[in-house]
A and B are shown apart, each in its own frame.
Chain A
């Protein structure tokens, strides 16, 4: 009994917690330590000359924060906005970014053994931005490396260093 408890606590130190969310039909998970808060979708202020998946900016208690719709970016599901549309506010490298998702489902705890390597294809996300796959309650959760995704050139949320320097 006590051994089992000890075993479990040893395990849990290696476990990571993920927030799972839904995009279209698929379940995704991201490192919960990057999550600042979860809010409902609210009216954004549009930014000119930005790609369609950048919906605009909102005021998050005085911070001007960009909102990215991953559904548009990765062409999954339908980009509808209603009272149930969810925005996950992420805190990544001292920046705050909101991502629009279809829903937030659960917090899941996974040990490293439970995380399987990501597939090379067949997922909307480029495998660069994937951390792995996991089976949770007999459905598959795609674990996203959210930090590399948000800071990627592809999203263009962060001005490349070279640009800021020459500007």
Chain B
């Protein structure tokens, strides 16, 4: 398990970096006179997300600090605390400490415990209104940091032979120094110390010797932030920097030749770890982040390539003789290559949910242990493939929901036994593709939502509610910002920020969240995500001249109906099969296609099961089963009833993908409704 969790660390670090950057930007732009509540909320959410993540991975120091920070922000956004410039300063400085701590975790070096403890005190002071003291204590700090030379050895932690003499406390203060300097431009005097660090950090992997090159190494380490290329002129600059203090751009021609030589000598090591030199000597990331639009563009282009290739092979068949044979060979080769390109491009975009789901057993286990509950987590449908961009966005909401289920949903073993339930609660996390969407559900068999308590809380929060609101509307209330019915705020949950974030994140990717809950029986959260670029297994059917794709998932069976199976009800035809009456939707009618077989006995009926209804669709013929890429119609057009999206067939034509749910709701025939209900 510990290995499994490792692979998500880098994701967490990246996410946290982003959150920290966001917070910093928001804090910088925050208007102290009249802070925008929405901005405060955003800052708060970012802190909350970092806290949540660090909780999962057991980064306690990070979690503790963000927890206090959150307290302060919570007060600020609830107007219990007047935001002042001092407070913004305190928060900004805390961000620096968080960055340093994050880096420490990332590099598996020691966490600056002292500094964190100090920050917590400062923050708590700020909460109690002693901002002045707080800033004082910080102001005195930087000088200490710079003064202690030993700091620089903090980076040797990974290498036992050299770092034995260094106590962990000095390492800590070293990190502090970094925390403080992160924001500042590289000021020369202090950078000497800093450069030292970098140099040492950089040399971690070096066996012995190379004393001569230490200085150059410093230069590299130092400059890595600015330029990763390590071009020789910059190296020279870097080298001369420690020597010519105060002349940053000193770059004298006569020195250059000799520097060049040295540069060459040092460059093999430099180029081996150009990026990681400062931050993480041992943890260079093996992946790069690519804008998903670039991948989208590639997916499209490869699709075109496939079509062009099939055109080419059609032409190739017309060429005779030896030339034709050679052409055919080349085309076969091209076909193989295109297919491989297509597969690899598609795989870039689509990821199974397994990796996301695997985060949770650990989270649930730890959480259950902490809360003295017995919880079993069941994972289902992890192989459901989902767009990469959706995965990134869905992680946070899922984490919140699973945590909520364990914390609020599942009761303590005693309560459960008293209620006649097994001691061990169950949380089921599952994913499936249904119609035009992917549904991720979190179902627990806990106590369910408390309708009365939610209504009460809503009233205290000044929300317009009434006692006879339907359940579904009551449940939606929990998505309001600052809404929590938990009695005490724990570090697990209870601030009501979670659900707010959950809905925001889900809506930002065009999804929605539904709640079902029965008191005493448990709650279920259903996240419906759209298929922006998911692949679907579909049955291609023809109606007139047009091809439609019906997702295989919806299809029960298809057959040619006999006269006896068809009954007429007013103007509508229903199908009597399996001792049931099924409404029949003629696709040519629904889709307004001309030239289709109108008599059901001449066509094929595809029995469909959607989440809402079961019905038959009348089509002309089945064409074949195929995996298709769903493309959005909304990107350039708009949503169309009954259609989940479109796809491009092998001949380059567009085929529409049927949305069974939408057909069921759109194609309503009152008579059939009445008869069947």
Residues of A with Cβ closer than 8 Å to B?
43-50, 56-59, 61-66, 95-97, 156-159, 167
Contact = CB atoms under 8 A, between A and B. Distances in A.
B635 A48 contact: no
Interface string B229-254: 00000000000000000000000000
A46 B635 contact: no
A49 B592 contact: yes
Contacts of B303: 62
Contact of A62 (B591, B634, B648, B655): B648
B640 A49 contact: yes
A47 B640 contact: yes
Interface in B618-677: 631-643, 646, 648, 652-656
B635 A64 contact: yes
Interface residues of B, number: 30
Given A45-B546, A63-B300, 13 more contacts: A46-B591, A46-B593, A48-B591, A61-B304, A62-B301, A62-B648, A63-B635, A64-B635, A64-B636, A66-B636, A96-B636, A97-B636, A156-B638
Contacts, number: 77
The 9 A-B residue pairs whose C-beta atoms are closest, nearest first, are: A62-B300, A159-B638, A45-B654, A48-B591, A66-B637, A64-B646, A48-B592, A59-B648, A95-B636
Nearest to A45: B654
Nearest to B642: A48
Contact of A59 (B301, B634, B641, B654): B654
Nearest to A65: B636
12 contacts: A45-B546, A45-B654, A46-B546, A46-B593, A47-B656, A48-B592, A49-B640, A62-B303, A64-B648, A65-B636, A95-B636, A167-B639
Contacts of B98: none
A45 B642 CA distance: 15
A158 B304 contact: no
Interface string B301-312: 101100000000
B654 A58 contact: yes
B638 A157 contact: yes
A45 B656 contact: yes
Nearest to A54: B637
B640 A59 contact: no
Most chain A Cβ neighbours within 10 Å, of B590, B633, B655, B656: B656
A128 to B, nearest CB: 21
A49 B593 CA distance: 10
Nearest to B637: A66
A56 to B, nearest CB: 8
B47 interface: no
Interface in B520-557: 546
Interface string B3-36: 0000000000000000000000000000000000
B644 to A, nearest CB: 12
B299 interface: yes
A62 B304 contact: yes
A35 to B, nearest CB: 16
Contacts of A157: 637-638
B637 A43 contact: no
A106 B206 CA distance: 69
A96 B636 CA distance: 6
Contact of B646 (A57, A61, A95): A57
Contacts of A57: 633, 637, 646, 654
A63 B643 CA distance: 16
Given A45-B546, A48-B640, A49-B640, A61 B654 contact: no
A46 B642 CA distance: 13
Nearest to A96: B636
A47 B593 CA distance: 9
A64 B637 contact: yes
Contacts of A66: 636-637
A43 B639 contact: no
Contacts of B652: 59
Contacts of A43: 653
Most chain B Cβ neighbours within 10 Å, of A50, A57, A62, A156: A62
A6 B653 CA distance: 52
A45 B653 contact: yes
Given A57-B654, A59-B648, A64-B635, A46 B592 contact: yes
A50 B590 CA distance: 12
A62 B653 CA distance: 10
A89 B653 CA distance: 17
Contacts of B656: 45, 47
A62 B631 contact: yes
Most chain B Cβ neighbours within 10 Å, of A57, A156, A158: A57
A45 B635 contact: no
B632 A64 contact: yes
A105 B646 CA distance: 34
A76 to B, nearest CB: 23
A158 B546 CA distance: 25
A48 B631 CA distance: 17
A43 B592 CA distance: 17
A48 B590 contact: yes
B635 A62 contact: no
Contacts of B637: 47, 57, 64-66, 157
Contacts of B593: 46, 48
Most chain B Cβ neighbours within 10 Å, of A44, A64, A159: A64
A59 B300 CA distance: 10
B380 to A, nearest CB: 29
Interface string B578-619: 000000000000111100000000000000000000000000
A56 B654 CA distance: 10
A47 B643 CA distance: 9
